[in-house]
Amino acid sequence: MTGDPHLLGSADAVSIARAVRQGSVSAQAVVAACLERIRRRDPQLNAFTAVLEESALQAAEQVDRQVAQGIPVGPLAGVPFAVKNLFDVAGLTTLAGSAINRENPPAIQDATVVARLKQAGAILVGTLNMDEYAYGFVTENSHYGPTHNPHDLNRSAGGSSGGSAAAVAGGLVPLALGSDTNGSIRVPASLCGVYGLKPTYGRLSRAGAALFAASFDHVGPLARSVADIALSFDVMQGPDPQDPVCTRRPVDPTFGQLGQGIEGLRIAVADDYFARGAEPPILAGVEKVAQALGVGQTVRIPEAQRARAAAFLITAAEGANLHLPNLRTRPHDFDPATRDRFLAGALLPASWILQAQRFRRWYRQQVQAIFQEIDLFIAPTTPCFAPLLGQEKMVIDGVEVLTRPNLGLYTQPLSFIGLPVLSLPLRESGSLPFGVQLVAAPYQEAKLLRAAAYLEKLGIPNAQPV
């Protein structure tokens, strides 16, 4: 590996960190090349809302100084990363995709997961565009503009972590952070052709991240290799008293388990709800993954459609409750698409929300029983390839439906009960990318990553930057 900007743009985080530790490339060369790619490419993509050039170069210089002095550096030493702009970054105002938040003072400290990545030697280069308050699947933000899909600039990058997915897919950074309420990591990962991990609910701290719906929200990484997902996940693990749902469960390193293969894993394909509605090439991709994993059984997730409906109700109500004062006094300052859905959520009857929560408990029990029989199941991530920017409708299962809400068709029923999910990037020759979800029981991220690493060795996922 050299300091050539083009070579560095295609390298993964694990390779970059290894080269920096060995002294075969300097962290300053890595970061300078990254910043040059951002300057050159981001005007097309609109993935970044802030670029931290000065502080990134200073951090890189510090890493190089430690390497030269023989001082141990972290496992992500010299690796550039960027974060969705709902994460606190010391010295920056946390926008969460909104105009209203521009009036807030700068954050005084980094979000916990941002701090942990920095402690591992990673170098923060900027913050990334998103749907306002993380309420959306397209990153067509009325305040900061749309983020464009690197594979086709006329198409959506997905959302709400669209800037994160586009920055990774476009080769601007090897690693980014996003958040996932109903699919906001996995949908853009699918449409942009990168890996996206939604860990178990409560597995990674959300302290210092602006929440959308507290009983759903997760944070997690997007990257171009399974190893990058595993290593970044490992360094972010650990309890955090600042987040009441980040449990004291012991850290379970996953990076070292990637070579264990799939022996002993019981895997099935989700049928019924998850086998209907997607475009034929996407269902063929699910079958391709299943065949590579030697899967011969199917599993039915009961009442997935009702789970999705209940998720809509609860997230709308929780999100609206967070923003009620501003909805009452300054509704004109919201993105219109966000405002109207929040207003609808504020008007939902309490009895509906209570019933949705009762159903949620029942649904969790049904899915827990399924994981007594299997370890993983496979499902599509999105029902379609990336839609055009501004596309209002699409056809699913022969029915014309609204595009924005239905991009989460297959992700919402899984977020609903906090399951860990990894979206794998697939891409056939000449096609746009799409994703396939691997889904496990709570706290079984290692099994997801073992299966993904096995598939990666077979060359099935394709996350090459464009």
Specify the amino acid at residue 298: T
Show contacts of 62-65: CB within 8 Å, 24+ apart.
63/20, 63/27, 63/121, 63/123, 64/20, 64/26, 64/27, 64/28
d(CA 117, CA 232) in angstroms, rounded, equals: 7
Residues 6+ apart with CB under 8 A from 363: 302, 303, 306, 307, 310, 416, 417
- Alpha-carbon distance of 179 to 181, in angstroms, equals 7
Task: Classify strands 376-380 and 298-299 as parallel, antiparallel or unpaired.
Answer: unpaired
CB 341 within 8 A of CB 316: yes
Structure-block tokens of residue 352: 């509906």
CB 125 within 8 A of CB 173: yes
Structure tokens at 391: 């596309």
**Who's near 1: CB < 8 A, 6+ residues apart?**
7, 8, 11, 15, 16, 19, 24, 25
> Quick one: angle between helices 53-68 and 13-22, nearest 10?
50
230 φ/ψ sector (left φ>0, alpha ψ -120 to 50, else beta)? alpha
Residue reference for tokens 């929440």: 211
Torsion angle (degrees, nearest 10) of CA 329, 335, 341, 343: 10
Biggest distance spanned by C-alpha atoms of the chain:
64
- For residue 160, whether the previous peptide bond is cis, meaning omega lies within 30 degrees of 0, is yes
Stretch (H or E) spanning 49: strand 48-51
Report the catalytic residues: 84, 160, 184
